[in-house]
């Protein structure tokens, strides 16, 4: 079975440094279940491909007693394992590309964190769940996914396709991230690990899933399959994952939202904010609107009043919040013509997602301040580079105004989950920078009662795509 990693980063031969494997050499590594070989079928400055060839020996497998319990004798020797990418491939990646997977590169350390164009081809990938599942796994991580189902037997077309796919995954990202993604997700696709899964597997999952798994829209499914459907382990892993995100959104958000509302209540800021945003959308004549970080659907309720809007999609990373939104919007009781307009989807704003495409307007209402500053660049790309709606409205607190809130202790932010709050200058600098990078123009608007010194409590930026 093969794994091909190709880059067109210039000079492409840098791939050799990143993988710690010289492009002119062919190297072999003994594995408990056979041999792994690394070589470069193509290597020049324009394009470079590294191949990991895994030669699994079914006899070694039986000797190692892998995956053999309870099965008939023949199936121990005759099975698909030598010919497909499975957990054996992950084990080989961890051994052969250990240094690259851990994000180290002695010769070119600056390349380790650099996003480079990469493409992975797995010619025989078991895909229990089909191409759509493959896409569900990789598209939220920003990959372009192409896959061709392999027929069960080309001489008997009536037998239809097998569970195997010739898959190619392309993305621009650091090599270490790509290796972590495939290390975790190959066994998830195969849904059949060759070894006993215990507590130490949780550590592996959390280590290699760091920075992406907790935000993945189907992290529960990934975790369960990775841990071979051992529910107690999966529960433990998911708990640890949410602890990792210190202020996990699902847990205490309702309480926190109420706190923020109480601070802002005397001026019913929330209402003013939603009215201004809904009015701006209406003026733009947008027909399809996506509310990113929709929370409990307050803006969606306002937008529903506007007859000219044909489609409203709310996105949030928190399943629980979406459930509340569904109840508050009384989705199940709405007349069909209104219900059909609304769609609520679970998704993360820091991963490219095709479901965010083809909207006239996107809103980020009191959302950006809930993201760690170092994740904001990812959100910018997802919204302004990939989804690219004609109009984007962003609102966020103006920190200068906080002194006016009598109930807010000095120096505190308005909400315990806020990772930052910006001054007017900080917000405007950020917005102008977004315009420069992604070809938008921006206008600013103040929302709420104005103080001559510290301005208004909320600041809003309306971005329009330059033609």
Nearer to ligand SAH, 44 or 254 (CB): 254
- Minimum CB–partner distance for residue 315 and ligand SAH (Å): 6
Task: Select the residue interacting with ligand SAH from 317, 342, 362, 383 (CB under 6 A).
Answer: 317
Rounded to 5 degrees, φ, ψ at 315 are -120, 135
Closest CB to ligand SAH: residue number: 295
- Angle in degrees, CA 196, 197, 200, rounded to 5: 125
Task: Select the residue interacting with ligand SAH from 295, 389, 455, 457 (CB under 6 A).
Answer: 295
Separation CA 142–CA 340 (nearest Å): 28
Helix pair 130-138, 175-190: axis angle to 10 deg: 150
Element (H, E) at 236: helix 231-244
B/e letters for 238-257, b = 16+ CB within 10 Å, e = fewer, are beebbeeeebbbeeebeebb
> Binding pattern to ligand SAH, positions 320-359, x when CB under 6 A?
-x--------------------------xxx---------
Instruction: Tell me: does residue 277 bind ligand SAH (CB under 6 A).
Output: no
End-to-end, the C-alpha distance of the chain in Å comes to 48
Instruction: Tell me: does residue 91 bind ligand SAH (CB under 6 A).
Output: no
Binding footprint of ligand SAH, residue count (CB under 6 A): 19
Nearer to ligand SAH, 228 or 352 (CB): 352
Tokens encoding 343: 């769609």
Q: Which stretch binds ligand SAH (CB under 6 A): 51-59, 364-372, 381-389, 406-414?
A: 364-372
SS3 209: coil
Helix pair 231-244, 199-208: axis angle to 10 deg: 40
Nearer to ligand SAH, 83 or 420 (CB): 420
Torsion sign, CA atoms 234, 236, 241, 242: positive
- Window 200 to 229, contacts with ligand SAH (CB under 6 A): 215
Instruction: Tell me: does residue 459 bind ligand SAH (CB under 6 A).
Output: no
Rounded to 5 degrees, φ, ψ at 335 are -60, 150
Residues paired with 292 in a beta bridge = 315
> Binding pattern to ligand SAH, positions 376-415, x when CB under 6 A?
----------------------------------------
- Minimum CB–partner distance for residue 299 and ligand SAH (Å): 6
Task: Select the residue interacting with ligand SAH from 181, 194, 224, 298 (CB under 6 A).
Answer: 298
- Minimum CB–partner distance for residue 101 and ligand SAH (Å): 25
Instruction: Kindly write down the DSSP assignment for every residue of 111-141, as one continuous string.
Output: HHT--EEEEEEEEEEE-TTHHHHHHHHHGGG
Task: Select the residue interacting with ligand SAH from 23, 34, 217, 293 (CB under 6 A).
Answer: 293
Nearer to ligand SAH, 76 or 270 (CB): 270
Nearer to ligand SAH, 372 or 450 (CB): 372
Q: Which stretch binds ligand SAH (CB under 6 A): 135-143, 179-187, 200-208, 310-318?
A: 310-318
Nearer to ligand SAH, 179 or 299 (CB): 299
Element (H, E) at 164: strand 161-173
Separation CA 224–CA 227 (nearest Å): 5
Contact 43, 14 (CB under 8 A): no
Nearer to ligand SAH, 16 or 389 (CB): 389
Separation CA 236–CA 5 (nearest Å): 33
> Binding pattern to ligand SAH, positions 162-181, x when CB under 6 A?
--------------------
- Minimum CB–partner distance for residue 314 and ligand SAH (Å): 9
Residues that bind ligand SAH (CB under 6 A): 215, 249, 293-295, 298-299, 316-318, 321, 348-350, 365-367, 370-371
């Amino acid at each position: 079975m093969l794994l091909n990693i190709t880059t067109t980063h210039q000079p492409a031969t840098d791939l050799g440094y990143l993988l710690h494997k010289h492009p002119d050499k062919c190297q072999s590594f003994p594995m408990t279940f056979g041999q792994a070989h690394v070589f470069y079928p193509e290597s020049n400055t324009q394009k470079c491909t590294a191949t990991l060839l895994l030669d699994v020996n079914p006899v070694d497998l039986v000797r190692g007693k892998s995956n053999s319990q309870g099965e008939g004798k023949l199936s121990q020797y005759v099975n698909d394992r030598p010919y497909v990418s499975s957990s054996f491939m992950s084990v080989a990646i961890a051994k052969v590309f250990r240094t690259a997977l851990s994000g180290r590169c002695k010769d070119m350390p600056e390349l380790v964190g650099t996003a480079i164009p990469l493409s992975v081809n797995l010619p025989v990938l078991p895909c229990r769940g089909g191409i759509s599942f493959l896409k569900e796994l990789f598209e939220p991580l920003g990959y372009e996914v192409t896959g061709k189902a392999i027929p069960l037997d080309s001489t008997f077309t009536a037998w239809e396709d097998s569970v195997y796919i010739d898959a190619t995954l392309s993305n621009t990202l650091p090599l270490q991230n790509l290796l972590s993604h495939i290390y975790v997700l190959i066994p998830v696709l195969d849904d059949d690990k060759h070894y006993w899964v215990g507590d130490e597997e949780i550590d592996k999952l959390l280590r290699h899933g760091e920075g992406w798994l907790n935000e993945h829209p189907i992290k529960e499914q990934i975790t369960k399959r990775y841990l071979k459907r051992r529910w107690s382990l999966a529960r433990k892993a998911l708990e640890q994952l949410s602890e990792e995100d210190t202020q996990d959104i699902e847990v205490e958000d309702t309480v926190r939202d109420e706190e923020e509302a109480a601070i802002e209540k005397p001026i019913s800021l929330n209402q003013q904010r939603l009215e201004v945003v809904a009015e701006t959308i209406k003026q733009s004549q947008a027909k399809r609107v996506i509310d990113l970080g929709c929370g409990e659907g307050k803006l969606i309720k306002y937008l529903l009043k506007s007859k000219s809007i044909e489609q409203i999609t709310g996105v949030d990373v928190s399943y629980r919040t979406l459930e509340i939104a569904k109840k508050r919007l009384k989705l199940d009781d709405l007349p069909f013509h209104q219900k059909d307009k609304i769609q609520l989807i679970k998704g993360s704003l820091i991963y490219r997602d095709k479901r965010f495409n083809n909207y006239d307007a996107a809103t980020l209402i009191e959302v950006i301040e809930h993201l760690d500053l170092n994740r904001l660049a990812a959100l910018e790309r997802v919204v302004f580079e990939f989804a690219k709606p004609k109009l984007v409205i962003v609102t966020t607190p103006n920190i200068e105004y906080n002194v006016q809130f009598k109930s807010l202790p000095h120096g505190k932010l308005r909400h315990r989950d806020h990772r930052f709050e910006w001054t007017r200058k900080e917000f405007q600098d950020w917005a102008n920078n977004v315009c420069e990078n992604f070809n938008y123009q921006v206008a600013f608007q103040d929302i709420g009662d104005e103080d001559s010194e510290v301005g208004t409590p909320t600041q809003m930026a309306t971005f329009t795509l330059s033609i």
